[in-house]
Structure 1
Amino acid sequence: MNSEPWVTAIDVARYLGVVKEAVCRWREQKGLPVLKIGRLWKCQFSNVDQWVHAGGADDEIQNARDQN
């Protein structure tokens, strides 16, 4: 059983060094792997890592960092 915690968009934004809005955009437009739990969207860092390494964020990750 996987004991990795489920984290919020804010946690993912901090982890990747981007703004929360970028994470929300990726969820809506780029297929960031998330799960809706109640009213909240949650994900796990391992799934985020796989998605980034597969090119899910493309070059937008640099643009989002530049906005910080």
Structure 2
Amino acid sequence: MRIAVLETDLFPDKGTLEGALAVLEQAPEAHQLFRHDLRRPKLTEHEWDVVLDAILASDVVVTV
């Protein structure tokens, strides 16, 4: 399963989500995690294109 992880710091329970994602990362043959840091100010247009491509290509999108 392809999983796009969007790092945003929007949720106070980030630790819980990170714990669940760590379990998924232990099975790379079953799950591929692609992390994108959206916390940086002023992402370029190209960086947003990469994020959007990852979202469209993923089976699941998780916002942390």
Give the shorter-chain TM-score range. under 0.3
TM-score, L = length of structure 2:
0.28
- Rg comparison, structure with higher value: 2
Q: Which has the higher helix share?
A: 1
More strand by share: 2
- The one of the two structures with greater contact order (alpha-carbon pairs below 8 A, sep at least 6) is 2
